[in-house]
Amino acid sequence: MLSPPPLLSAALVLVMVHALRAAPLSAGSAMVEFPNGAEPITLFTYKPPTYKGGPLLVVCHGVQRNAKEYRDYAITLAERHGVLVVAPLLDEERFPSSRYQRIGLLDKDGNAQPSETWSCTLIPQIVAYIRESECNPDLPYYLMGHSAGAQFLMRLAAFLPIEAVRIVAANPGSTLFPDRNRQFGYGFGGLPEELSNDAAMRHYLAAPLTLHLGTGDCVADAYFDTSSEGMEQGASRLERGHACFDAARKLAKEHDWVFNWRMVESSGIGHEAAFMFATGKAGEALFGPDNALADSGDSFPVVGDAPFESGDDLFGSGDDLFGSGDDLYDC
């Protein structure tokens, strides 16, 4: 058989490349599959009918793994701020708490895993997939998670250099203190040097992280982490969020380090994702007070305005570390 002319071969290659490229997201609610090799991820999406190229918002679900509902919770934000919404489903079978809330940082024996295996690396991969599908390689993006999803994002912020404009952790059940005296995942204790040294701490404190706390999240429900390590952080999710923020701000001030965290409160809201997404304070948590609808509650602005620093030598492995605590409560 004769080979096609070179120009025709090149044209066929271009056609094949475009055929393989993901199609732009459909307007309204949809579901797409992110291929991700042997571990495909279902993405629940929403594109406002009036979308005009606004940023991407990746939403991380709670322990019930109800990504579709979380996508729906974020529709108000999508319409209000003109953003794309993508809510990945990280199912419990493939992503138990050691791989979701704890990002797969440690194996079951407490040994640090190679950074490329961490589950949080899925987020920049999903962002790249959406950027390609939307033909917008510079599409800015934001991250927002509630409860277990907030824990996932706090640990992502600590250990993964990332381009996100802002990372919002709403009502995390336990927090990650910038403290080497608290074992991972409540702090940085027991981790190898490259994951717990001052460069790692600086990276975490410089992350564009917002703690969005409901002032009514004071009830120890069935999912509340009542472990001794959790209770040392506070008697409620609200107390734990405040304590972690205060400890981080104090450490940054003591060392004159960049501190890019914020804290935003939504008055009277408990451990309820739908309400936390619907309040105008959710927009403030993501985009700042000048871009959100007025609502009750107090906002604590950024301290320090230097650019985000990723830090050096954050990745590596280690042995004989503290275990992942898979038997703990999840949110």
Alpha carbon distance, N-terminus to C-terminus of the chain: 62
At residue 331 the predicted structure's pLDDT band, cuts being 50, 70 and 90, is low
Residue 313 forms part of a structural domain? no
pLDDT tens digit sequence for 188-217:
999 999 999 999 999 999 999 999 999 999
Residue 330 forms part of a structural domain? no
Q: What is the pLDDT of residue 273?
A: 96
Q: What does each C-alpha distance from 56 to 29, 71, 123, 188 come to in angstroms? A: 15, 13, 12, 30
Phi-psi region of 17 (alpha: psi -120 to 50; beta: other; left: phi over 0): alpha
Q: What is the pLDDT of residue 322?
A: 30
Residue 221 forms part of a structural domain? yes
Residue 76 forms part of a structural domain? yes
pLDDT tens digit sequence for 243-283:
999 999 999 999 999 999 999 999 999 999 999 999 999 99
Exposed/middle/buried for 17, CB within 10 Å: 0-12, 13-18, 19+? exposed
Q: Is the pLDDT score of 9 beyond 90?
A: no
Q: What share of the chain is helix, strand, coil (3-state, %, to 5)?
A: 35, 15, 50
Residue 126 forms part of a structural domain? yes
Six token digits for residue 284 = 């403030």
As a whole number of angstroms, the distance between CA 81 and CA 272 comes to 22
At residue 21 the predicted structure's pLDDT band, cuts being 50, 70 and 90, is low
Q: What is the pLDDT of residue 77?
A: 96
Query: Interhelix angle for 237-255 vs 198-206, to 10°?
Result: 120
Q: What is the pLDDT of residue 268?
A: 96
Residue 6 forms part of a structural domain? no
Strands 41-47 and 28-34: antiparallel
Instruction: Specify the number of domains making up the chain.
Output: 1
Residue 39 forms part of a structural domain? yes
Q: What is the pLDDT of residue 313?
A: 38
On whether the pTM is more than 0.75, the answer is: yes
As a whole number of angstroms, the distance between CA 146 and CA 153 comes to 9
Tokens 């952080």 belong to residue: 233
Read off the CATH number of the domain in which 70 is found: 3.40.50.1820
At residue 325 the predicted structure's pLDDT band, cuts being 50, 70 and 90, is very low
Residue 159 forms part of a structural domain? yes
pLDDT tens digit sequence for 54-65:
999 999 999 999
- Domain containing 109 equals 30-300
The average pLDDT across 28-55 equals 96
Q: What is the pLDDT of residue 221?
A: 77
